[in-house]
Amino acid sequence: MKNEIMVKEAENIAYFMQRLYRQQLTTTLGGNISVRLGNEILITPSQVDKDCLTAEDIILIDENGNIKKAVHPASMETQMHMAVYKNRPDVKAIIHAHPFWASLFALSDLKPVNNISDEAFFMVKRLAFCEYHTMGTKELADEAGQKSKNADVLILKNHGILTCGKNLTECMERIEVINNLAHYAYLASGKIKLVSLSKEAMEKINK
């Protein structure tokens, strides 16, 4: 029974990853999804075309991040997912993506307003901003883990969006709602200013 559940969840992860890509909510190699099953975590691999992802590509790790089953390297943001799970025992699923409109909250001075509709207030009322840290680092993982204690939607500065919830459907809904909110905010703003990475951040990425 446990194996059947794991296979079903792996198929679910692959399905939602394809949906993210096909709905233009992330890029070919960007974004990652995970689901927690007891003391184990299923997570998407690194550098695999999101539109072709299958259940066989999904990686199984234990609660300490040790790989138990894999045919590809684990997502570079595995630490970030684990940090959120550690700080949020209630969370069973996480989606990290780079949706076009919602990423404006992370890349500019555009500010979210999450009380303009009942749907928005219900789904993203627990919202937090994370300070910039280089992608895939422990610093980013620690920041996301701490901020997730009081938020279900994280805006990662100069990076993207992370949503968490009791299942992938809830996480996906939050991604879609925050993406719509950003579009509304942009249309209402008149003009925004993009915020670039610092010189130090770019040097770290180059390394």
Instruction: Show which residues are catalytic.
Output: 77
For the CA atoms of 106, 169, 137, 179, the dihedral, rounded to the nearest 10 degrees, stands at -10
Provide the strand spans (E) within 44-195.
59-62, 67-69, 93-97, 127-130, 153-156, 160-165
Q: Determine contact, residues 39/64, Cβ cutoff 8 Å.
A: no
The C-alpha atoms of residue 124 and residue 46 are separated, in whole angstroms, by 28
In angstroms, the Cα distances linking 128 to 49, 71, 153, 203 are 29, 34, 6, 27
The C-alpha atoms of residue 13 and residue 34 are separated, in whole angstroms, by 7
